[in-house]
């Protein structure tokens, strides 16, 4: 993978400078020489960078290429970062042995291989709800797994006699993509990935290591020629993201012992990015929070109507008899859109984490989700070569009758319809509210005329915001419902105060 990253940098340099000759020099760092000892037990500073630092300072090479997440927060004197490439997909992916569902049916413990303390904290909690409930409740354990990506996949598919039997392994999605894009590694990697089941971990549940998905180029301080050569490769937005993530790293403690993830996201319909933090600090205390710079908007005194906390009581859902054709992939917008007892052969992607968990309880395998931010948020992930997904136009979308028109003609299938629940107390509450949180665009389409006193409309960063704007509104868009509630609380105490919000995530 290191060589694939170096080739990526070389290709960009040569595109900028036709005729430039780039020589690759392979350097094996300490972290790759010892493939058995857990990283947090190796008493070496810079286990993935020390040898590269020495060769660079000795002028044996002109620049070095790193996975940025492997670099410490303090770099040796005499070395300078020259470029951060535009960020690749920061997500983690779990590759599963094809027999995983048979083990789940038998109630056997599921062993996940990883070398990361962060993943050891995050993954078991997530998988206990995300794996199909086809037998007893899934029991998840983790085991140390070292080596490069291909050797880890090989251990998953073909464990040696007496070796640890892994049922799944966690890898960085960006790393696998780089291997598939490297001509020298494509065929081998494709063969290794063949037949494996996958899950792409949602960032809202499992944010990754600060800087994951970034390729960094370092040069010697004072080498102005190399710094000038690398400058066109540098991405300033990437630099801003990683600086924010590194601040979280310094706050909670990092290195090879790091037990939390911190990923900054630029979400659709949001001006300011949000920082997602999940896991444990160095004292093994939970540090789950969303951090966001809130807008400076005055909230009118009065009633707040919350269409998310009690939104399920607003409608009565009734199944619609539907002919669901064969499709390579299905996108499910809500758990109730999947007919009871229906077990599709298609690969499944869903709108959000809660829909994922509800379908898993029904025994369905879900590969990934839109995290409540809309399918457009997923488009870059769906194009990842690791997933080998067909074009989105070939998918079928399961949704309710009122939302079919929101999708391209012929793509969406209505499996249920919604009618207002006339007994819901939320209907009367809305007529008195001055602030409203809309949990979905459908809520506004059905109830907007009753929001006669609402002066501030709020919603999440997905398709709901698009719906409200299409109806002529100017909603205040938040990264999450918990951030909205924290913002309201802050405004009630400090009406004129704008500050960074840190909303705990339950």
Q: Match 């005729």 to its residue by tokens.
A: 19
Residue 304 and residue 431 in one domain: yes
pLDDT above 90 (res 132):
yes
Residue 299 and residue 448 in one domain: yes
For the ranges 67-81, 153-167, 300-314, the maximum mean pLDDT occurs at 67-81
Q: What is the pLDDT of residue 255?
A: 63
Tokens of residue 40, six digits: 């947090």
pLDDT above 70 (res 506):
no
Residue 323 and residue 401 in one domain: yes
- The number of distinct structural domains making up the chain is 4
Residue 193 and residue 106 in one domain: yes
Among 84, 72, 82, CA closest to 8 = 84
Predicted confidence band of residue 45 (pLDDT cuts 50, 70, 90):
very low
Please compute the mean of the pLDDT values over residues 393-422 and round it to a whole number. Answer: 94
Structural domain ending residue among the three candidates 404, 420, 436: 420
The Cβ-side half-sphere exposure at 209, using a 13 Å CA radius, reads 28
Q: Quick one: what percent of the chain has pLDDT higher than 70?
A: 92
- The CATH number assigned to the domain holding 409 equals 3.40.50.10090
Residue 129 and residue 248 in one domain: no
Mean pLDDT of the chain: 90
- pLDDT, tens digit (0-9, with 9 covering 90-100), for 245-262: 999 998 887 666 789 999
Dihedral (Cα; 62, 67, 70, 75), 10-degree rounding: 30
- pLDDT, tens digit (0-9, with 9 covering 90-100), for 451-488: 999 999 999 998 899 999 999 999 999 999 999 999 98
Q: Does any domain span residue 186?
A: yes
Residue 13 and residue 39 in one domain: yes
Q: What is the pLDDT of residue 39?
A: 52
Residue 226 and residue 350 in one domain: no
Residue 340 and residue 395 in one domain: yes
- The CATH number assigned to the domain holding 195 equals 3.40.190
How many other CB atoms are there within 10 angstroms of residue 449's CB atom?
A: 10
- pLDDT, tens digit (0-9, with 9 covering 90-100), for 320-364: 999 999 999 999 999 999 999 999 989 999 999 999 999 999 999
496 to 197, 299, 435, 490, 499: CA distances (angstroms): 51, 10, 17, 10, 10
Residue 498 and residue 367 in one domain: no
Q: What is the DSSP string of 192-239?
A: HHTT-EEEEPPTTTS---TTTT-EEEEEETT-HHHHHHHGGG--HHHH
Tokens of residue 6, six digits: 């170096």
Compute the distance between CA of residue 193 and CA of residue 498 in angstroms, rounded to an integer. Answer: 48
- The CATH number assigned to the domain holding 220 equals 3.40.190.10
Compute the C-alpha angle 201/398/373, nearest 5°. 40
- Domain of 137? 92-200
Q: What is the pLDDT of residue 73?
A: 82
Eight-state DSSP code of residue 303:
E
Q: Does any domain span residue 262?
A: no
pLDDT above 90 (res 27):
no
Residue 187 and residue 232 in one domain: no
400 three-class SS:
strand
- pLDDT, tens digit (0-9, with 9 covering 90-100), for 365-380: 999 999 999 888 999 9
Q: What is the DSSP string of 129-189?
A: HHS--SSSPP-EEEEE--S-HHHHHHHHHSPPTTS---SEEEEEHHHHHHHHHSTTTHHHH
Please compute the mean of the pLDDT values over residues 387-396 and round it to a whole number. Answer: 96
Residue 407 and residue 328 in one domain: yes
Q: Does any domain span residue 372?
A: yes
Among 382, 388, 389, 4, CA closest to 181 = 4
Q: Quick one: what percent of the chain has pLDDT higher than 90?
A: 73
Q: Does any domain span residue 284?
A: no
Compute the C-alpha angle 42/47/51, nearest 5°. 135
Eight-state DSSP code of residue 405:
G
Is 126 in contact with 205 (CB distance < 8 Å)? yes
**Cα dihedral sign for 39, 42, 44, 49?**
negative
**Cβ partners under 8 Å of residue 302, min gap 6:** 432, 433, 434, 435, 453
Rg, Å, the chain Cα set: 25
Distance, CA of 119 to chain centre: 13
Among 244, 306, 232, 314, CA closest to 276 = 244
Q: Does any domain span residue 264?
A: no
Compute the distance between CA of residue 63 and CA of residue 197 in angstroms, rounded to an integer. Answer: 38
The Cβ-side half-sphere exposure at 140, using a 13 Å CA radius, reads 21
Predicted confidence band of residue 491 (pLDDT cuts 50, 70, 90):
confident
Least confident window among 117-131, 154-168, 394-408, 430-444: 154-168
pLDDT above 50 (res 46):
yes
Predicted confidence band of residue 385 (pLDDT cuts 50, 70, 90):
very high
Residue 414 and residue 426 in one domain: no
Eight-state DSSP code of residue 475:
P
Is 485 in contact with 504 (CB distance < 8 Å)? no
pLDDT above 80 (res 11):
yes
Number of residues assigned to the chain: 506
């Amino acid at each position: 993978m290191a060589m694939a990253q170096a080739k990526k940098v070389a290709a960009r340099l040569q595109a900028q400078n036709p005729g430039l000759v780039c020589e690759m020099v392979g350097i094996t760092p300490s972290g790759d020489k010892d493939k058995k000892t857990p990283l947090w037990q190796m008493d070496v500073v810079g286990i993935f960078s020390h040898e590269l630092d020495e060769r660079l300072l000795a002028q044996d090479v002109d620049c070095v290429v790193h996975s940025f997440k492997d670099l410490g927060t303090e770099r040796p004197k005499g070395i300078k970062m020259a470029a951060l490439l535009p960020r690749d997909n920061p997500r983690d992916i779990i590759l599963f042995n094809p027999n995983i569902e048979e083990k789940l049916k038998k109630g056997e413990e599921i062993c996940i291989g990883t070398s990361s303390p962060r993943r050891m904290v995050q993954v078991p909690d997530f998988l206990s709800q995300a794996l199909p409930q086809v037998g007893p409740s899934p029991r998840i354990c983790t085991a140390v797994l070292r080596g490069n990506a291909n050797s880890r996949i090989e251990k998953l598919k073909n464990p040696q006699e007496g070796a640890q039997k892994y049922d799944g392994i966690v890898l960085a999605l960006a790393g696998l993509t780089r291997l598939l894009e490297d001509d020298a590694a494509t065929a081998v990697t494709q063969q290794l990935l063949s037949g494996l089941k996958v899950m792409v971990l949602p960032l809202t549940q499992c944010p990754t290591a600060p800087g994951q998905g970034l390729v960094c180029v370092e040069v010697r301080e004072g080498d102005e020629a190399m710094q000038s050569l690398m400058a066109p490769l540098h991405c300033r937005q990437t630099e801003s993201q990683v600086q924010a993530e590194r601040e979280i790293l310094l706050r909670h403690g990092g290195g090879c012992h790091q037990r939390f993830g911190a990923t900054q996201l630029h979400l659709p319909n949001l001006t300011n990015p949000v920082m997602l933090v999940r896991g444990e600090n160095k004292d093994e205390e939970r540090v789950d929070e969303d951090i966001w710079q809130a807008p400076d908007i005055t909230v009118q005194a009065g009633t707040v109507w919350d269409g998310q906390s009690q939104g399920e009581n607003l409608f009565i859902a009734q199944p619609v008899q539907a002919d669901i054709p064969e499709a390579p992939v299905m996108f499910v917008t809500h758990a109730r859109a999947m007919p009871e007892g229906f077990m599709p052969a298609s690969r499944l992607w869903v709108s959000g984490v809660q829909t994922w968990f509800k379908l898993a309880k029904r025994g369905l395998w879900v590969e990934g989700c839109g995290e409540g931010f809309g399918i457009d948020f997923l488009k870059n992930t769906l194009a990842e070569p690791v997933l080998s997904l067909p074009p989105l136009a070939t998918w079928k979308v399961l949704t309710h009758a009122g939302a079919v028109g929101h999708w391209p003609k012929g793509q969406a299938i209505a499996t249920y319809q919604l009618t207002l629940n006339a007994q819901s107390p939320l209907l009367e509450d809305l007529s008195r509210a001055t602030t409203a949180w809309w949990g979905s665009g459908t809520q506004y389409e059905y109830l907007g005329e009753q929001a006669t006193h609402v002066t501030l409309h709020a919603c999440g960063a997905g398709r709901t915001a698009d719906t409200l704007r299409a109806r002529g509104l100017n909603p205040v868009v938040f990264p999450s419902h918990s951030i909205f509630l924290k913002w309201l609380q802050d405004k009630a105490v400090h009406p004129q105060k704008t500050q960074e919000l840190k909303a705990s995530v339950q």
